[in-house]
Chain A
Amino acid sequence: MSDARKLEITGMLARWGSSPQAREDTVRILYGELRQMAGRIFSGSNAGTLQPTALINEAMLKLLGDAAASFDDRGHFFGAAARAMRQVLVDHARRKCSGKRGDGVGTLSLDVALNVAVPPPDEMIALDAVLNELEALDPDAARVVELRYFAGLTLAETAAALGVHPSTVSAEWVHARAWLKRALES
């Protein structure tokens, strides 16, 4: 993500709501950003059955449907985007689970999942549950996981979005991942 691009988005977010055109531009650019995120999440083409584009569409709808959500800056936006995307993935997993139980497509471990692919529906739901637990205990750590995993941000990008040093994000991320893994295994 180039710096010029970042500026552009921040500027657009500031103008969000100032005119229909600004809003439209924002959506258009953000759509590109969201696609990129989805691409990172879905880098394995065999993972999950939800296409990146469908994911983005649903996430955008969720975001824009909430007209009250005005984003002060990029970090807020990515936070909202990541939450929206998490919601989409979890909803999708729930639907899939209720549709056909024991589909058993792929048995990826969380470790693999956190890096490359959407886990199978039951793991997704379990992940969501333990992430909620983590959120209750340590909201900052949960933010990091959301941004890294659901928004697909790199360490540096996550740090920028949260306004902290990358090394802090790194430590939070390693810990949160280990914590989640342990929570999932127990």
Chain B
Amino acid sequence: MTAGGARYLEAKRLFIEALALPLEQRAGYVELGADGDAALAAEVMQMLKAELTKIDVPEPGVSPHDIRTSVPGYRILSELGRGGMGVVYLAERTADGVVQKLAIKRMLPGFPGTSQDIARFHGERQILATLDHPHIARLVDAGTTTDGSPYFAMEYIEGERIDRYVRKHRLDIRQRMQLIAKVARAVDSAHRHLVVHRDLKPGNILVDAYGEPKLLDFGIAKLLDASTIERHHSATTVGGVQMLTPLYAAPEQVRCEAISTATDVYALGVVIYELLTGLSPYGRSATSSPHFLSHAICEEDPTAPSAAVASSEVDVRFALAPGQLRGDLDAIVLKCLRKQPEARYASMDALVADLEAWATDQPVDARRGSRWYHLQRFARRHWVALGASALIVLLTVAFVIGLGRELNATQVERDRAEAERERAQQVTSFMVKLFSDADPKQAKGESFTVRQALDRGYARVSDAELAEFPATRSHLLREFALIYSRLGDKETSLAAAKQAIALAEPSRQSAPLDFARAQFAAAVAHYERDELEDAARLLSQVLEAADAAGNVILATAALHVQGKVEHGRGNDAKAAQLYLSIEQRLLAKLGQSRLADAVNMPATGDDRELLDSLARSLSSRCTTMRVLAKPREALALCESAVALGNRVWSPSDPAHIPISIELAILHQELGNTEFSLATNREVIRMARRIYGDRHVRVAFPMVNLALDLGELKRKDEALKLMAEAVGIFKEQLGVAHRWYQEALLNQADLMRRSGETVAAIAAYQETLALQREGRSKGSGGMVAITLEGLALAQADAGQKDLAVSSARMALEEYTNVEGDRHPSTIQARIGLAKHLRENAEPAAALAEAERALADIAADEEDAELRATAQFALAQALRAAGQDPARAQELASSALASERKRDPKSAGIVEIEKWLVERR
């Protein structure tokens, strides 16, 4: 033990002993105990003093003593909290011999408040004075402090923040919802007094010792003029925005648009979300920075609470189970969180009504309007009687949905209504039977999954159950086929679809749509199996039948898969046309002439289904336009699709995935890599949740994320992720599949850019070998791209002669596929010229460069292509030792053009460097 250590222990012992004594005895005890060591006594006394100081108000000019007596009639006890301009103290006053605790709010001491700040402070006081509700902290008194600041005294709530209260007391779902309903009623009461709170958050809602919530802090609340909706860009309200808690801010607050009672509906929605899930609605990546958060608030659809709690990030002790949230509570919360204020609950009162409906198991308004919903509601109330687990009920519901749609579609066919009803009953009783067997005791509770229920159902239907009702069986089997397709089980899907076709065949004349729908299911299965010809053949029959029956939904569904087939064949222009024709048909059916109008029309009734198809088609056409190198059109389509998708798709709908991928790719192409990266991560998370870890739909965004990482020079992460993604494609699709080959090509490019030249060359060559085996599938363009990459990798490896021959083959491929004067062909020729030049063949390089520039059409819009060709020719001229004046002129022209096109272009530096080298 050192001397310092001994001294420390001595001081510690004295301190602890003295602490046990009454205040006035401590000094004497310490002095005695220190035994003449004045320094030791002083040290212990300093510690005792430090221990005592509870109030610590650092502002200069106002000593703690002054603070304590600064409000006449009150004694300030401690500070409760402070904000940008105000501070709240706990204080007590004695009135008629009774000591009462109150919270006193005043301007920060020494705060040089502007007249606006003071006005806002008075505003809060005024607002509180008008509110009288058991769940809003009451105004008790108001006045001016001794140092001239306005203050007011509120009821002091000895309580806990609502979120901590929920956690500490482990409230169950009903108890949480009861608290929330009380808060909503308090906010509603404020709205009735034309007050919008504007800063609802858990920190402003306390729960007192009796379990009653109290709403606090109307600090930035606003009095609404009954006749006008106030605009949000006056000076005071800009201040209001700065004080907002961004996590709870509504889109209109982030955008500085009009604030209304719907703003509080939104914020309360976030609070409800958090109280049910323990998570923020926009996930982890969004809350990591204000930028992403603002973007998420304005653009991203929040994850449904039930889906959020199913993720691994969740705090299992706080969050409720997915099954408790799915359905009504998802719908209520998401309705609060809609981006457009007018799409949320029309009033806090309407939200209160839904919360009450939920509490009594009545249908909630957020989901009203669909007939099957009431069926589900019924099932819920008879839950115990049915003896089924939540998952199984959900599956039943999925079938009932399909059934409801079916009934709707055939309602007009009155002569068939009776048959349909009978069929519906058969399906229902089949399902009930299926699930009533699923006794939780037999099925070992949760281990009985949806997939097992599905497999069991399929086994029964395909095994001649319902044999006397072929139409019903066919219907069920084609539903199974589509579900198995979505689950990626292509074999079972096709088998089920073929059975469905066989069963519908005999009554093809009387029920052509049933037959067509079975064919459609088979076409989807063929498409998923990459059997494009079979798919195309079936689809044209489906389309014919759908058109004959005037069924737009089935027709557009068939056209959509046709588009995908064309895309798979490499006919992207044809695919784009098909998608466009879908959109035209849908617009006609919706009675709209412009896409923008359709995107904004209300998604109700039958229109919803049409708009759903429209969003999917826009999403597919967006991909196609990007592939066709029309990023501007693609981005516009992407934005329309996202906007529409957010309105018509549930947040857990897989349809969000392809369009989010598109958005990421387009941002990547626009150079916004960070945004692309965040989007891709989110997509991967979403896709894993929906499809599982090893699904190709997870692998696509993984490839994109790897490319983003490569772009950001995070080489190791990028290569590892890419290898994993390529592995998934290989495992799921086999090496002959075009997607695997595309992934491999991406991997080769990434390797080359990361300096892994040898590995890159091997990967390019493997890609080429596979492409050549399966030539028939229209992959000419891809072969050329691969050869170009190979040439670059060979050049990097110093194999300059090989690079030249690869580049020459790439040019041949492009010439064959696209023709002489296509931009890609010209680009390939420029590449060849460069490789020739580097291989010390200046004359040949010069010839190719001359030809490239000459091949560019006079009206070519692509300024970069022309500049590239000009510069390539300049370089070739110099290498050949010819015409320096012309070389100079070409390079200068390219430089000017690039500067004009994009001042940040990498080419500018290169050309400037070249021009300097000359001198």
Residues of A within 8 A of B (CB): 2, 5, 28, 31-32, 35-36, 43-45, 51, 53-54, 107, 109, 111-112, 137-138, 141, 171, 174-175, 177-179, 181-182, 185-186
Contact = CB atoms under 8 A, between A and B. Distances in A.
B605 interface: no
A54 B288 contact: yes
B50 A185 contact: yes
A125 B141 CA distance: 43
A178 B15 contact: yes
A174 B19 contact: yes
Contact of B317 (A32, A174, A175): A32
A36 B315 contact: yes
Contacts of B287: 51, 53
B238 interface: no
Which residue of A44, A51, A177, A179 has the most chain B CB atoms within 10 A of its CB atom?
A179
B46 interface: yes
B58 interface: yes
Interface in B263-312: 284, 287-288, 312
B47 interface: yes
A139 to B, nearest CB: 11
Given A175-B19, A181-B51, 12 more contacts: A5-B317, A44-B81, A45-B203, A45-B247, A51-B288, A54-B288, A109-B56, A138-B8, A138-B12, A175-B15, A178-B47, A181-B50
Nearest to B313: A31
> Main SS of the interface on chain B?
helix
B169 interface: no
B31 interface: no
A137 B51 CA distance: 20
Contacts of B46: 182, 185-186
- Minimum-distance CB pairs A-B, first 8: A181-B50, A178-B47, A109-B56, A178-B51, A137-B8, A178-B50, A182-B46, A32-B315
B4 interface: yes
B425 interface: no
Contacts of A44: 81
A36 B312 CA distance: 15
A173 to B, nearest CB: 11
A186 to B, nearest CB: 8
A137 B4 contact: yes
A175 B16 contact: yes
A107 B56 CA distance: 10
A171 B16 CA distance: 7
A28 B288 CA distance: 20
B56 A174 contact: no
Contacts of A177: 50-51
B43 interface: yes
A5 B43 CA distance: 43
B47 A182 contact: yes
A171 B12 CA distance: 10
A179 B12 contact: yes
Nearest to A184: B50
B94 interface: no
Given A109-B58, A175-B47, A53 B288 contact: yes
B53 interface: yes
Contacts of A51: 287-288
Which residue of B46, B48, B245, B247 has the most chain A CB atoms within 10 A of its CB atom?
B46
Contacts of B317: 2, 5, 32, 36
A181 B316 CA distance: 37
A141 B58 CA distance: 28
Contacts of B369: none
11 contacts: A32-B314, A43-B164, A54-B288, A137-B8, A171-B19, A175-B15, A175-B16, A175-B19, A177-B50, A178-B48, A182-B46
A111 B48 CA distance: 14
Contacts of A178: 15, 47-48, 50-51
Contact of A111 (B43, B54, B164, B288): B54
Contacts of A138: 8-9, 12
Contacts of A112: 56
A36 B168 CA distance: 12
A137 B56 contact: no
A107 B58 contact: yes
B550 interface: no
Contacts of A35: 315
A108 to B, nearest CB: 9
A9 B312 CA distance: 17
A158 B19 CA distance: 21
B5 interface: yes
Contacts of A53: 284, 287-288
Nearest to A177: B51
Nearest to B314: A32
A44 B161 CA distance: 11
A109 to B, nearest CB: 4
Contacts of B9: 138
B51 A174 contact: yes
A105 to B, nearest CB: 12
A44 B8 CA distance: 34
A137 B19 contact: no
Contacts of A28: 312
Contacts of A111: 53-54, 56
A107 B201 CA distance: 24
Contacts of A186: 46
B373 to A, nearest CB: 34
A35 B9 CA distance: 36
Interface in B190-233: 201, 203
A138 B9 CA distance: 8
Contacts of A175: 12, 15-16, 19, 47
Contacts of B56: 109, 111-112
